[in-house]
A and B are shown apart, each in its own frame.
Chain A
Amino acid sequence: MAFEYAPAPESRSIVDIKASYGLFIDGDFVDGHGSSFKTINPATEETLAEIAEASDADVDLAVKAARRAFRGWSRMSGKERAKYLFRIARIIQERGRELAVLESIDNGKPIKESRDVDVPIVAAHFFYYAGWADKLEHAGLGANPQPLGVAGQVIPWNFPLLMLAWKIAPALACGNTVVLKPAETTPLTALLFAEICQQADLPPGVVNIVTGAGSTGQALVGHSDVDKVAFTGSTGVGKAIARAIAGTDKKATLELGGKAANIVFDDAPIDQAIEGIVGGIFFNQGHVCCAGSRLLVQESVADEVLSRLKRRMGTLRVGDPLDKNTDIGAINSREQLDRIRELAGIGEEEGAERWAPECDLPSSGFWFPPTIFTGVTQAHRIAREEVFGPVLSVLTFRTPAEAVEKANNTPYGLSAGVWTEKGSLILHMANELRAGVVWANTFNKFDPASPFGGYKESGYGREGGRQGLAAYLKAEEA
């Protein structure tokens, strides 16, 4: 007897998507001076809304608004700033379902992730940094640390609202004002967040949202009155930003790509390790900078782990992001789908063995089945380059030393996972792995109190936790 799950779609009636959106500058939605672009639902390719593309002049207006607001916001007592942040956090919780549905529509991620992961962590982030706003003298940066000024923030499409929270919450708590550019394929939740700022009576100009593509981002990052640049996205763009701001006194934090090793030892809790492997690479369609995209499995258990992994992958449900039983949603854009297909094709050409479970993919929209490559070596491009999709490369190792060597043999260093029942081995590996986050017997766990960031080409600076405050504060000038 087969247990078929009937469709269980989350209603989208809760969201009200307008035909067109302007820019959010100085507390109001205004028309931009540039052209516009469309944002689409990646699961259906339907156009969702027309979005203003901020021109250089629009970015200048937004930065000026942020500069004007900075005076009042930075001098406001921390306790007062906290009130606004707590209020925003509560409104995010109250409108959580609306935010989750909108995120899934615009991004393609399954509703169970936007509902159970993204939105709760977004609210938690605002609550967490609201708590810091009146305790900044305990941040470890001297008795009276000062905000930096206007922060120009550019965020990616994989966690649109969550990355917004990671950027805006600490910046505001520390007394900075922000101009944020969401990714061009996922602007809608940032624009809904702008409404939430209005609802929370946030003073005008403290948060400004400018939508657009690369040129808008360049204008923002390059603007002479921006004191701080915060970017999450690809290593390529991160390098360009670092070049653009070199020689200026802008501070920067960059959270870039990754090619994390998820390391499974032979004494691992195998069933939970399988879940960790699946969650590590297929969570959010693999559009995760810290995804465990390289599975390093000890040779003595490799066959068993692989057969269990394949069986588990056969139960993954790919399809409608709004269906509550969907495990893997749509790839965010055609461009990204092409990139994943290209790298998967190269994997085959280079001689790795490709496997994916049978799954019916919808006829419209952008889809890629959960896929693993076995017989991968360090020399393969799929073992070195970030695919940013549901594609796992499987490599094997014989000893802990070899695992460390292979795990670290990458220009990236954002995250890693270790699976073993042996506590001493966990501590040893955590010391040896050059990665900003090392998860032990879990993967892709996020908490606002825990700092996150990379080594090497995965970027610099930390977001989250007390450490995340350092990105938005400077010691008091003598």
Chain B
Amino acid sequence: MPTTAPSDPVQGLAAYSEVTASEASLRRFLHGLPGVDQVGAEARATGLGTRSIKTTSKAWALDLAIRMVDLTTLEGQDTPGKVRALASKALRPDPADPGCPSVAAVCVYGDMVGEVKAVVGDRVNVAAVATAFPSGRASMAIKLADTRDAVAAGADEIDMVIDRGAFLAGHYLQVFEEIVAVRDACARPDGSHAHLKVIFETGELQTYDNVRRASWLAMLAGSDFIKTSTGKVQPAATLPVTLVMLEAVRDFREATGVQIGVKPAGGIRTAKDAIKYLVMVNEIAGDDWLDPDWFRFGASTLLNDLLMQRTKMTTGRYSGPDYFTLD
């Protein structure tokens, strides 16, 4: 593995074209990645979690965390009204403070993209889950149609799920080719393409070795972001899983020159947790990733805690939840 990034990402990636040329070579490559020692990885994550972020650093981190939120609702009971309310909140999370930044994106099912778009326009991104989210159990044709549908409706970002069954069965090339196909389906007529986030459902992959392999597989296949979870399976995002993914994007950029984003999703509910993630981004991947373009939180209830802490920082007092909107 080279230790300095190639200057040309196209060349950097081309060096890996042989890796993905066959099932056998891809398997050899993924199984040749350094292992992850579970105890050590968890100890490192716990250690970073003890960083004490106070005063000015805390205020800075809270604002950054708000700007990184993919405000999410992925329920069967979602209605246009509910989704529009969420979209309004994404634009102005704290109606009492115009200085409060907007979130990064609103994340919904594909059929709700238009509703969000109508409220936020181009001011906040719209992310749509696709590819038979959350299980990924559908034919390839359905998954691609699902994706094209969301892109056509105006989604800026597509959150796809991988076929965990195929991954766990060792059919890495199949997973790789699916990601490539979905990425192609993200293309718009004007030649641009919706950003692709690839969800691993790490709670189903279970081992950190699998998380590292899935990360490299998805990055080689052209994902823009790698994402932990759907939020529908426990455990969802954890600090050590995100640590392993941050190490992967750091190493991938070093190897290819291509920077990939990371999105932990599900289970991050408090500002304190969010700050632990930011500390980890800072110390593992580096400050290039401390930006909504490269790190996101997939969350819903997290936003209100961030807002409450933010208000506490500016006023010196805690307000009750009644002072923040429910959506």
Q: Which residues of A contact B (CB under 8 A)?
A: 1-8, 112, 116, 267-272, 275-276, 303-304, 307, 315, 324-325, 421, 441-442
Contacts and interface: CB of A to CB of B under 8 A. Distances in A.
A8 B282 CA distance: 17
B314 interface: no
Chain B interface residue bracket vs A:
20 to 34
Given A3-B57, A271-B40, A272-B44, 17 more contacts: A2-B287, A3-B60, A3-B287, A4-B57, A5-B53, A6-B54, A6-B57, A8-B54, A268-B34, A271-B36, A272-B39, A275-B40, A303-B3, A307-B3, A324-B52, A325-B52, A441-B40
Contacts of B279: 3
B64 interface: yes
Contacts of B118: none
A2 B291 CA distance: 10
Contact of B282 (A3, A112, A271): A3
Nearest to A272: B40
B247 A271 contact: yes
Contacts of B35: 267-269, 421
A349 to B, nearest CB: 29
23 contacts: A3-B290, A4-B56, A4-B57, A6-B54, A6-B55, A6-B57, A6-B58, A8-B53, A8-B54, A267-B34, A268-B35, A269-B36, A271-B41, A271-B44, A271-B247, A272-B37, A272-B40, A272-B44, A275-B44, A303-B3, A304-B1, A315-B283, A325-B52
Nearest to B59: A6
Interface string B273-292: 00000110011000100110
B188 interface: no
A1 B64 contact: yes
B3 A304 contact: yes
Contacts of A275: 40, 43-44
A276 to B, nearest CB: 7
A269 B34 contact: yes
A2 to B, nearest CB: 5
B37 A269 contact: yes
A276 B47 CA distance: 13
A324 B279 CA distance: 14
Contacts of B34: 267-271
A341 B186 CA distance: 59
A270 B279 CA distance: 21
A418 to B, nearest CB: 12
Contacts of B36: 269, 271-272
Nearest to A266: B34
A430 B95 CA distance: 63
B61 interface: yes
A275 B60 CA distance: 28
A1 B39 contact: no
A4 B60 CA distance: 9
Nearest to A112: B50
A277 B205 CA distance: 29
A8 B52 CA distance: 6
A1 B60 CA distance: 10
B232 interface: no
Contacts of A7: 54
Contacts of A268: 34-35
Contacts, number: 76
A441 to B, nearest CB: 5
B293 to A, nearest CB: 11
Contacts of A267: 34-35
B49 to A, nearest CB: 11
Contacts of A271: 34, 36, 40-41, 44, 247
A401 to B, nearest CB: 23
Interface in B235-290: 247, 278-279, 282-283, 287, 290
A270 B1 CA distance: 12
B51 interface: yes
Contacts of A307: 3
A5 B3 contact: no
A102 B235 CA distance: 40
Nearest to A116: B50
A5 B41 contact: no
Contacts of A303: 3
Contacts of A442: 39-40
A468 B287 CA distance: 48
A324 B39 contact: no
A226 to B, nearest CB: 41
A304 B61 CA distance: 32
A114 to B, nearest CB: 13
Interface string B282-325: 11000100110000000000000000000000000000000000
A353 B197 CA distance: 44
8 closest A-B pairs (Cβ-Cβ)? A272-B40, A8-B52, A324-B52, A269-B37, A272-B37, A307-B3, A270-B34, A6-B57
B57 A5 contact: yes
A421 B33 CA distance: 12
Contacts of B57: 3-6
Given A112-B50, A269-B35, A441-B40, A1 B1 contact: no
A324 B60 CA distance: 19
Contact of B50 (A2, A270, A324, A421): A324
A325 B275 CA distance: 14
A271 B245 CA distance: 12
A157 B262 CA distance: 44
Nearest to B44: A275
A307 to B, nearest CB: 4
A93 B60 CA distance: 35
B321 to A, nearest CB: 28
Most buried by B among A268, A270, A421: A270
B278 A3 contact: yes
Nearest to B43: A275
Contacts of B51: 5, 324-325
Contacts of B56: 4, 6
Given A5-B53, A6-B55, A303-B3, A272 B287 contact: no
B40 A269 contact: yes
Nearest to B278: A3
Contacts of B37: 269, 272, 421, 441
Interface string B2-13: 010000000000
